[in-house]
A and B are shown apart, each in its own frame.
Chain A
């Protein structure tokens, strides 16, 4: 109970900082970077569900992000309200995930990774070549900002300022974290981890592993689509690069370095890695060299990434502190003449 309360205080502290942040940081450039960080946090959190918790490497994640982005982009340009287009596009991403998962998740091991790798490439090729629908490689431009919400008898909430967009994206990030938290801390989440840890035992213990994997995949794709839809509406323009493999691999790095199978890891990764990337700009293409080494070191020594290391350190300190508290009076007693 005590530990849980401590956890809640942490949440509250971070939440307050996030609320206050746009009033502390007034630079438009930094504001935009933070919004992107939130969007990619949602994408990485959802990748975490299928890869970190269920242990299935979905390499089409940016593809589903792209489906959400094109869905919202095209629908809202066609006059559909953002608030209808967003859930519709996220559901489309989930539905496509379901159809793709049906054949590919029946296999064990690397087949799923290979099939989703192909799917990711296919989605970005389709986005680039289905010119009538997607506008080809020029993409979709002039996507309207999210439709204002009319609160009866009071004000109208508009989303054309950076500040309003910041809070909108933050709200969706919190929604995503809330959903992930509930899933992970439940019997459903436990069955995800069972499949990741030992699929054969999970089966023998009565878990329908195929269904578990499919569920994880569909939820992950829904939230990837959601992040993509928000991205389209806030950026105002999208192109096939919105669904590119490069993006998937970026999130993969955020996830592995931030901490797979932790709830904080994806968010740490989505903020820390771009900052490191920016500050290493002077190294040009050689910074990839540093990243390669960093990734290998993290995977070998910190299998649960930065968040895992933080948790380990916290546990160690707590133990030290408790030990010192126990020893304290004893040492004092023995020093007495």
Chain B
């Protein structure tokens, strides 16, 4: 197992957002986490990536416990993530946004920066090489020197994924990567995610509301409701699960499949 969560819980002074969740993510998997608004999906991501501290349970990544580690240390271990409200470095250019994501793989400090030592030049060169690679992957070459705030919605999503890709993650946590996008843009982002999974062999955990996309993309689906897992399995199985249809898919799924 690449990622294992055991009894993971988050309690906001009485309100249980995540309730003793056991989650296994196998290496090479593309897993979708679905559930109604407020089901605790984003909080689950925040607990895994260390943005929030769990009130109970533990998380293991590649067999090593990462519960309670600082977010930057978890990122360095190989978990990249994006945020639901697209988070970018808005004041900076696309290339700079990406370069920041690679900083954790370089180590030149203050003195090599001031003296521009060989190490500094080597680190800068490596960063630029990786930036060029990721620009190619996410398809934002033409916008490389534009400010992040001037990008379109779809481009911003790609850039957010690009930042997470920079440090060679083993696992990507994508929080609604196509939320609020048009159908065409949604398809484009779906293709990008499929490519990351197939070609780059990155394990992906995806929170998504668009059921058609989830059914096409995911190998396995986990359904959260009121902070607990109520069902998990292959997409076809989930689509037929009466408990799931009742709790969440209901109207939307029927409407979607028509």
Binding site for B on A (CB under 8 A): 179, 182-183, 186-191, 193-194, 196-198, 200-209, 215, 219
Q: Which B residues lie within 8 Å of A204 (CB)?
A: 49, 51, 71-72, 75, 80-81, 83, 87, 164
17 of the cross-chain contacts (CB-CB < 8 Å) are: A182-B114, A186-B124, A187-B123, A190-B100, A193-B89, A194-B89, A197-B90, A197-B91, A201-B87, A203-B70, A204-B49, A204-B81, A204-B87, A205-B166, A207-B72, A208-B70, A208-B72
| CB of B200 to closest CB in A, whole Å | 18
**Chain A residues whose CB sits within 8 angstroms of the CB of B29 once the complex forms:** none
Encode B82-107 as 1/0 by CB contact (under 8 A) with A.
Answer: 01000111111000100111011110
Question: Helix, strand, loop or mixed for chain A's interface?
Answer: helix
B163 contacts chain A at the CB level, 8 A cutoff: yes
In the complex, how many residues of chain B place their beta carbon closer than 8 angstroms to a beta carbon of chain A? 38
| Cβ of B179 to closest chain A Cβ, rounded Å | 17
Q: How far is the CA of A179 from the CA of B80 in the complex (A)?
A: 33
Q: For the complex, give the distance between the alpha carbons of A206 and B81 in Å.
A: 10
Q: Smallest distance from the beta carbon of B19 to chain A beta carbons, Å? A: 24
Using CB atoms, name the residue of chain B closest to A186: B113
B90, B113, B124, B164 — most chain A CB neighbours (10 Å): B113
Tell me if B255 counts as interface (CB < 8 A to partner A). no
Residues of chain A contacted by B105 (CB below 8 angstroms): 206
Interface core residue of A183, A186, A191, A200 (most chain B CB under 10 Å): A186
- Residues of chain A with a CB closer than 8 A to B51's CB: 200, 203-204
Contact B72 A182 (CB under 8 A): no
A198 touches B87 (CB 8 A): yes
Distance between Cα atoms of A304 and B80 in the complex (Å): 32
B61 within 8 A of A: no
How far is B70's CA from A113's CA once the two chains are assembled, in angstroms?
A: 23
> Given A197-B92, A201-B83, A204-B75, are A190 and B99 neighbors across the interface (CB < 8 Å)?
yes
Given A205-B75, A207-B72, is A193 in contact with B83 using a C-beta cutoff of 8 Å? no
Contact A215/B110 with A193-B91, A204-B71, A206-B75 known, Cβ cut-off 8 Å: yes
Chain B residues lying within 8 Å of A179, measured Cβ to Cβ, are 114
CA distance A311 to B116 in the complex (A): 27
Given A182-B116, A198-B88, A209-B72, 12 extra CB contacts under 8 A: A187-B99, A187-B123, A189-B113, A191-B103, A193-B89, A193-B92, A194-B89, A202-B100, A203-B70, A204-B71, A206-B103, A207-B100
- Residues on B with beta carbons closer than 8 Å to the beta carbon of A188: 108-110, 113
> Closest chain B residue to A193 by CB distance?
B92
- List of 6 A-B pairs having minimum Cβ-Cβ separation, nearest first: A206-B104, A206-B75, A203-B71, A201-B87, A197-B89, A194-B100
Chain B, Cβ-Cβ closest to A261 = B91
Where the two chains meet, the residues of B that have a C-beta atom closer than 8 Å to any C-beta of A are 49, 51, 70-72, 75-76, 80-81, 83, 87-92, 96, 99-101, 103-106, 108-110, 113-114, 116, 120, 123-124, 127, 163-164, 166-167
- Please name all residues of chain B whose beta carbon is closer than 8 Å to the beta carbon of A201 when the two chains form the complex: 83, 87-89, 163
Q: Determine if A205 and B101 form an interchain contact, defined as CB atoms under 8 angstroms apart.
A: yes
Return chain A residues, CB-CB under 8 Å to B87.
198, 200-201, 204
CA distance A193 to B167 in the complex (A): 19
Q: Is the CB of A205 within 8 A of B104?
A: yes
Closest A residue to B109 by beta carbon equals A188
A191 touches B100 (CB 8 A): yes
Contact of B113 among A182, A197, A198 (CB under 8 A): A182
Q: Find the residue from B75, B91, B103, B110 having the highest chain A CB count within 10 A.
A: B103
CA distance A232 to B100 in the complex (A): 40
| Most B C-beta atoms less than 10 A away, residue of A183, A190, A201, A202 | A201
**A32 to B103 alpha-carbon distance, docked (Å):** 44
Min CB distance, B59 to chain A, in Å? 15
Q: Measured between alpha carbons, how far is A204 from B80 in the docked complex, in Å? A: 7
Which A residues touch B71, using CB under 8 A?
200, 203-204
A203 to chain B, nearest CB (A): 4
Given contacts A194-B89, A198-B87, A200-B51, is CB(A205)–CB(B100) below 8 Å?
A: yes
